[in-house]
A = this chain, B = another copy of it.
């Protein structure tokens, strides 16, 4: 089977970028020292995010390569969802052993490209290098209105805590096939008084303390109200990680009927109240758990 060493870097890159769909915001895509694009519209901030998937950590040698690419792209888009923002331009860093079959890398890119196109993201450049294991890093720009961008840190004591979807058991497939909650995030930011939002990547037990900590607050949650994936225990729902659902805080002036409006907009996705932010930072009613990268 043809490997990266057989065809070399320039031929590989030509193959990976052939037929890339680029919209009118791209002045110069792959091929120059830097990509050149139009900046966000006036009145918008520029948002930046990078994220990486590593063989043996985020996927295995057995993972279908299209799903590796899909996941690498979807993880970053999920971060733009977390801020109710709009992703625009992506750079891809590919690290792979020279013995990697060209076909495997082409498939990874097919997954990256399909997920990017689904959300209107342009792949405008990247970088390749050899390394001991397959690693894909996606760096992305996006934009959000300067007057109402959504931070993790602006919630108040008394704000209620909500999550989309169901938590736990992602390793059985969802971690490769999740849909970034971009449309849902925009709906929430438009229709509700969202005071803080983030995406759940390391598990509620780890991510909720981060959100509360950013706000200088504590939290109380009701374990019984945490939406669990079918077959999962509460420990798995709190600690498995890679849910890529939204965790958000709502101010008390949320309209009374918003749950039915949500159900109309997203009939197949739960929106569950799981607790509340409280003033005392030491109040933190969750067992420890969640994904720790270096342990």
Interface residues, chain A, CB within 8 Å of chain B? 3-5, 7-10, 12, 27-28, 31-40, 42, 44-52, 54, 56-58, 79-80, 82-83, 85, 89, 91-93, 95, 98, 124-133, 135, 137, 139, 141-144, 149, 151-153, 198-199, 210, 214, 292-295
Contacts and interface: CB of A to CB of B under 8 A. Distances in A.
Contact of A34 (B48, B131, B135): B48
B32 A83 contact: yes
A192 to B, nearest CB: 18
23 contacts: A4-B294, A5-B294, A7-B294, A8-B294, A9-B293, A12-B294, A32-B152, A33-B49, A33-B79, A33-B152, A36-B45, A37-B45, A37-B46, A38-B45, A39-B39, A48-B125, A49-B125, A50-B92, A52-B95, A58-B129, A98-B294, A139-B139, A141-B141
Nearest to A210: B10
Nearest to A47: B34
A131 to B, nearest CB: 5
Going nearest first, the 3 A-B pairs with the smallest beta carbon separation are A139-B139, A33-B82, A50-B91
Given A36-B144, A49-B125, A93-B137, 12 more contacts: A5-B294, A32-B151, A32-B152, A34-B80, A36-B149, A48-B91, A50-B93, A56-B131, A128-B294, A130-B293, A132-B132, A139-B139
A214 B137 contact: no
B130 A8 contact: no
B130 A93 contact: no
Given A129-B57, A130-B293, A48 B89 contact: yes
A149 to B, nearest CB: 6
Nearest to A58: B129
A65 to B, nearest CB: 17
B9 A292 contact: yes
A54 B141 contact: no
Given A28-B151, A54-B129, A135-B131, A141 B294 contact: no
A47 B35 contact: yes
